[in-house]
Amino acid sequence: MTVNIALLGFGTVASGIPFLLKENGQKISSAACTDISISKVLVRDEAEKQALLAQGHDYNFVTDITAILTDPSVHIVVELMGRIEPAKTFISQALEAKKHVVTANKDLLAMHGSELLDIAAANQVALYYEAAVAGGIPILRTLASAYTSDKITKVLGVVNGTSNFMMTKMVDEGWTYDQALAEASRLGYAESDPTNDVDGIDAAYKMVILSQFAFGMTIKFDDVRHEGIRNITPADVKLAQKLGFVIKLVGEIVERESGIYAEVVPTFLPKTHQLATVNGVMNAVFVESIGIGEAMFYGPGAGQKPTAASVVADIIQLAMSVAEGYSAPPFNTFSRETIYAKKEDLLDKYYFAIETEDKSGQLLRLAELFHAENVSFEQVFQDKISDHVATIAIISHQMDLNQFDNLVAKISSLDGFTLRNTIKVI
Amino acid sequence: MTVNIALLGFGTVASGIPFLLKENGQKISSAACTDISISKVLVRDEAEKQALLAQGHDYNFVTDITAILTDPSVHIVVELMGRIEPAKTFISQALEAKKHVVTANKDLLAMHGSELLDIAAANQVALYYEAAVAGGIPILRTLASAYTSDKITKVLGVVNGTSNFMMTKMVDEGWTYDQALAEASRLGYAESDPTNDVDGIDAAYKMVILSQFAFGMTIKFDDVRHEGIRNITPADVKLAQKLGFVIKLVGEIVERESGIYAEVVPTFLPKTHQLATVNGVMNAVFVESIGIGEAMFYGPGAGQKPTAASVVADIIQLAMSVAEGYSAPPFNTFSRETIYAKKEDLLDKYYFAIETEDKSGQLLRLAELFHAENVSFEQVFQDKISDHVATIAIISHQMDLNQFDNLVAKISSLDGFTLRNTIKVI
């Protein structure tokens, strides 16, 4: 038999799919126990259709989703349009038409994933989205298969290629944030509005999805504390290097006794940590669990071919269930009530970079302030940055998130001091 | 319903299984769509049975495999006895009794895997063995799922924890081979006869299995060129470091135009290579493919809990097929005729360490010999190691495997020269 798929959208990733289906046809057919064929492709309008046909693309292009929804020969719908609408409506309709759906739409899944998964379950079809997190790394399927036997305690991820490319330049070449952003833009890694990448928003979306697979809980996007890399200076980078760290934007999800917690924040990583050598646009997810222990999954985070390879891997799994006539298992079966950790269960060390007038007694004032919060210094560095201004860099001992928030608030309101940056220390 | 499993053997790994089944019971049941229960455990003899009962283990211990083979309530047999026999016979019998089998027995699979897989196919049951390669890393399932849409061109693996522990000590601490082996023995990483680990045999077994999943071809164990780490000296390590490399025992499988090739050899890895920071007993598999590009999978290579976690992940997959009533897909569906690469398609750089009398003209003789083979030097270093003896270290430009073998033969037979070591350079 042949399993028919319909593509929604024919952009960069979508056009990589026919390449892989052809290039690896035999391997794919034996894995899927069936041939897979692209039977329809939804495009925006007649103009796009004519343009694609003129380019020599030989597909059955349609401009109305109904042509796909009402076609009983279409088994799997592959959404690659991106953004929330109309993707959300089309996916819902496809699921309601009892078609399996594959998508790489991370924003949509992070914001509306639960709702879509409910629709899939109600219609006894499946929604797969391996490519939504760390495009070329099969991290979701790995969490949902290899880790079903295990209990995960921590996930660390370098999952935004743009910001990691920038941080790599800032660490390896000593570039400023602005220099790194200019180069990322020049190379097409950064969009004209880079907010989502550099402020940790994109990585926070991914933490929402990872939390469902790794912990069976759904952290809401608004509950993922996120902070980006805009404030990181060459001075921060240099001090980190001196102490044996590199700085990266790291997403972290942990389960503590009281519940789970997720954040995306700039982080001092020891140079010997496996994540420290994840450079450029590459991604990696580091997993700690009671069974396997420490493991890391490294690969490209985006790009046409890696993303298309992940999408096709999902298609193959679903095609096999269609061909063999069993119901496709849900992409993720791990689900528990979502319980958030208490702030006092979240212990970390932090780096504080504080600017102040270069006069005696300033460090004492800070020391008193930290002491009042019951937090002690591990290391302190002072640097004169101009005639009258000094930077005081503090690496603290562990504190909980309440203490950290209190310290940040107090330092920020302290007369004569400017809190230039805080960075978590792993 | 409940899916019943029977364990063959109750050693270290096997005893980790009930722990995981209990600790993660709810998660496992929802992933498998069924409860999983250990209904029988095969032990060697009555004495072992009594000893285990006395220790408080509360299982239905049996001493005759027939009790398991003839029990229709046993769906899955889990072999954890190790070695070739009686494991091979028991697995064959279990498959013939139409029971799925899970094993971690790498030696058995490397030597007799095809035969066992044929028996499984003939009886419409499945044989899963994720834990056989790189215990805690789900590399086989990843190759058989995420990479079905992709074409792999190269696999590099640090897959023997013992030798990697030793090489890490030799590189980081400057230890000799003997010092590193003594420490590995003291810590229980090296067996009393360390041959399999230090001579690349264990890693070569794993290359056989990886070749089946990554390339759909079965390289015979005897066709995996393997060489160990016994000849590596602190001088080799030091020179490597000076040039920006670390030395590791690396398994490599490549597909070239003419076919595939596998070897396990000491390798100069650039310090920036992802595999270069895989230290101690950790394992990693690095995969290059046309779709995903470069990816790496890192984790523990052995140990009770990581191995048990992999075994239970296999059990869960099979239990789901039993519970849902569909036939479990084969562990690996990728299969092509095995075609070996021609030696002239295999191009690499090499490091040669050659001892010779410290007199003029010796380097010239080597230069002539390399020139006669059409191989040029990239870098040459000469070091006096005693009054009359010098070491000449050569990093060559690329040569094919014929040229390499010819050079090794010629240098070895060259009067007044001793070929102390050769190491591949990546």
User: Which tens digits make up the pLDDT trace of B234-277?
Assistant: 999 999 999 999 999 999 999 999 999 999 999 999 999 999 99
B305: nearest CA partner in chain A: A291
Average pLDDT value over all residues in chain B: 95
From A40, A49, A99, A206, active-site residue: A206
Pair (A355, A311) in one structural domain:
no
Q: Which of B308, B372, B380 is nearest to B21 (CA)?
A: B308
pLDDT > 80? residue A305: yes
Using a CB-CB cut-off of 8 Å, the residues of chain A touching B168 are none
- The answer to whether B138 and B295 are in contact (CB under 8 A) is no
- Considering the domain boundaries, does residue A71 fall inside one? yes
**Residue A176: how many CB atoms within 10 A of its CB?**
14
d(CA B422, CA B353): 6
- The answer to whether A161 and A106 are in contact (CB under 8 A) is no
> Which residue intervals of B173-301 are DSSP H helices?
177-186, 195-198, 201-215, 234-242
d(CA A190, CA A165): 10
- Considering the domain boundaries, does residue B361 fall inside one? yes
User: What pLDDT does B386 receive?
Assistant: 80
- The answer to whether A267 and A167 are in contact (CB under 8 A) is no
User: What pLDDT does B46 receive?
Assistant: 96
Q: Which of B289, B324, B359 is the last residue of a domain?
A: B324
- The answer to whether B397 and B409 are in contact (CB under 8 A) is no
Q: Which of B273, B13, B3 is nearest to B154 (CA)?
A: B273
DSSP per-residue codes, A273-326: SGGGG--TTEEEEEEEESSS-EEEEEEES--HHHHHHHHHHHHHHHHHHHHHTS
Residue-wise pLDDT for A354-394, tens only, equals 999 988 889 999 999 999 999 999 999 988 878 789 999 99
Asked if B344 has any chain A CB less than 8 Å from its own CB, the reply is no
> Which single residue is written with the structure tokens 């215990």?
B135
Tokens for A20?
Answer: 């892989």
Residue-wise pLDDT for A255-286, tens only, equals 999 999 999 999 999 999 999 999 999 999 99
Pair (A156, A278) in one structural domain:
yes
- Considering the domain boundaries, does residue B126 fall inside one? yes
B36: nearest CA partner in chain A: A149
Pair (A267, A287) in one structural domain:
yes
Pair (B283, B310) in one structural domain:
no
Sign of torsion, CA A220 A221 A227 A228?
positive
Residue-wise pLDDT for B331-340, tens only, equals 999 999 999 9
Give rounded-to-5 percent helix, strand, coil for chain B.
Answer: 40, 25, 30
Asked if A31 has any chain B CB less than 8 Å from its own CB, the reply is yes
- Considering the domain boundaries, does residue A369 fall inside one? yes
Residue-wise pLDDT for A113-167, tens only, equals 999 999 999 999 999 999 999 999 999 999 999 999 999 999 999 999 999 999 9
User: What pLDDT does A384 receive?
Assistant: 81
Question: Average pLDDT of A178-185?
Answer: 97
- Considering the domain boundaries, does residue B330 fall inside one? no
Kindly indicate the confidence band of residue B290, based on its pLDDT and cuts at 50, 70 and 90.
very high
d(CA A93, CA A89): 6
Pair (A250, A391) in one structural domain:
no
What is the CATH classification number for the domain harbouring A130? 3.40.50.720
Question: Average pLDDT of B4-21?
Answer: 95
What is the CATH classification number for the domain harbouring B400? 3.30.70.260
The annotation status of B85 as a binding-site residue, yes or no, is no
- Considering the domain boundaries, does residue A335 fall inside one? no
Q: Which of B305, B254, B302, B297 is nearest to B278 (CA)?
A: B297
Looking at residue A31, the DSSP 8-state letter turns out to be: H
Using a CB-CB cut-off of 8 Å, the residues of chain B touching A295 are 136-137, 297-300
Cβ-nearest to B136 among A293, A308, A335: A293
- Considering the domain boundaries, does residue B255 fall inside one? yes
Where is average pLDDT lowest: A194-203, A379-388, B25-34, B329-338? Answer: A379-388
pLDDT > 90? residue A322: yes
Residue A133 has φ and ψ, to the nearest 5°, of -125, 125
Whether residue A298 and residue B296 make contact (CB cut-off 8 A), yes or no, is: yes
- Regarding an ipTM greater than 0.90, the answer is yes
Whether residue B334 and residue A149 make contact (CB cut-off 8 A), yes or no, is: no
Query: Which A-chain residues 233-272 have CB contacts (< 8 A) with chain B?
Result: 272
Confirm whether A271 is a catalytic residue.
no
Pair (B161, B266) in one structural domain:
yes
d(CA B109, CA B97): 20
Average pLDDT value over all residues in chain A: 96
Asked if B27 has any chain A CB less than 8 Å from its own CB, the reply is yes
Using a CB-CB cut-off of 8 Å, the residues of chain A touching B326 are 324-326
Using a CB-CB cut-off of 8 Å, the residues of chain A touching B288 are none
Using a CB-CB cut-off of 8 Å, the residues of chain A touching B327 are 324
Asked if A219 has any chain B CB less than 8 Å from its own CB, the reply is no
Pair (A82, A34) in one structural domain:
yes
Pair (A125, A147) in one structural domain:
no
d(CA B226, CA B249): 10
Alpha-carbon distance A217 to nearest alpha carbon in chain B (angstroms): 12
Whether residue B136 and residue A295 make contact (CB cut-off 8 A), yes or no, is: yes
User: What pLDDT does A359 receive?
Assistant: 86
Asked if B32 has any chain A CB less than 8 Å from its own CB, the reply is yes
Pair (A360, A273) in one structural domain:
no
Asked if A334 has any chain B CB less than 8 Å from its own CB, the reply is yes
Task: Judge if pTM exceeds 0.90.
Answer: yes
Q: B43 is in which domain, residue-wise?
A: 2-135+303-324
3-state SS, one letter per residue, for B1-63: CEEEEEEECCCHHHHHHHHHHHHCHHHHHHHHCCEEEEEEEECCCHHHHHHHHHCCCCCCEEC
Pair (B72, B33) in one structural domain:
yes
Whether residue B20 and residue A324 make contact (CB cut-off 8 A), yes or no, is: no
Residue-wise pLDDT for A397-410, tens only, equals 999 999 999 999 99
User: What pLDDT does B385 receive?
Assistant: 76
Using a CB-CB cut-off of 8 Å, the residues of chain A touching B20 are 149-150, 291
Q: Amino acid identity, residue B345?
A: D
Asked if A309 has any chain B CB less than 8 Å from its own CB, the reply is yes
Whether residue A299 and residue B292 make contact (CB cut-off 8 A), yes or no, is: yes
Question: Average pLDDT of B58-66?
Answer: 96
pLDDT > 90? residue B296: yes
Alpha-carbon distance B80 to nearest alpha carbon in chain A (angstroms): 17
Pair (B269, B316) in one structural domain:
no
Residue-wise pLDDT for A336-362, tens only, equals 999 999 999 999 999 999 999 988 889
Domain count, chain A: 3
Cβ-nearest to A151 among B23, B293, B313: B23
Cβ-nearest to A138 among B142, B312, B325: B142
- Considering the domain boundaries, does residue B292 fall inside one? yes
**Residue B315: how many CB atoms within 10 A of its CB?**
27
Using a CB-CB cut-off of 8 Å, the residues of chain B touching A130 are 146
Residue-wise pLDDT for B145-187, tens only, equals 999 999 999 999 999 999 999 999 999 999 999 999 999 999 9
What is the CATH classification number for the domain harbouring A189? 3.30.360.10
User: What pLDDT does A120 receive?
Assistant: 98
Q: Residue A337 region, left (φ>0) first, then alpha (ψ -120 to 50), else beta?
A: beta
Probe site for chain B from A33, A292, A322 (most B CB atoms < 10 A): A292
Residue-wise pLDDT for B74-114, tens only, equals 999 999 999 999 999 999 999 999 999 999 999 999 999 99
User: What pLDDT does B358 receive?
Assistant: 86
Kindly indicate the confidence band of residue B301, based on its pLDDT and cuts at 50, 70 and 90.
very high
Pair (A21, A113) in one structural domain:
yes
CA contacts within 13 A on the Cβ side of B162: 25
Alpha-carbon distance B355 to nearest alpha carbon in chain A (angstroms): 36
User: What pLDDT does B90 receive?
Assistant: 98
- How many interchain CB pairs under 8 A, A with B? 195
Asked if B315 has any chain A CB less than 8 Å from its own CB, the reply is yes
